[in-house]
Amino acid sequence: MDEYRIMTIAEVQEYMDIGKNRLYELLKENRIKYYKEGKKYKITKKSVDEYIQSRLSEK
């Protein structure tokens, strides 16, 4: 189940081709779903793909 694979901040940045600051903005705005364990962000590939799909649907 690749969709539930947990991605790091760096992996999401590379996958989406965006900077760290922009990614943190998206997380803070709850545009991409995540949870935290301690200080580490836990982001599923599915939540990133859902955000990308929502952006594509806007056009």
How do the pLDDT tens digits run along the chain, 59 residues long?
677 899 999 999 999 999 999 999 999 999 999 999 999 999 999 999 999 999 999 86
The structural domain count of the chain equals 1
Cβ-contact 53, 45 below 8 angstroms:
no
The pTM assigned to this predicted structure is 0.88
Token pair 């779903």 is found at 33
CATH of residue 35: 3.90.105
- pLDDT at 18 (0 to 100): 98
CB burial of residue 9 (10 Å; 0-12, 13-18, 19+): middle
Host domain of residue 11: 2-57
| Side-chain-facing half-sphere of 21: CA atoms under 13 Å | 0
Cβ-contact 23, 13 below 8 angstroms:
yes
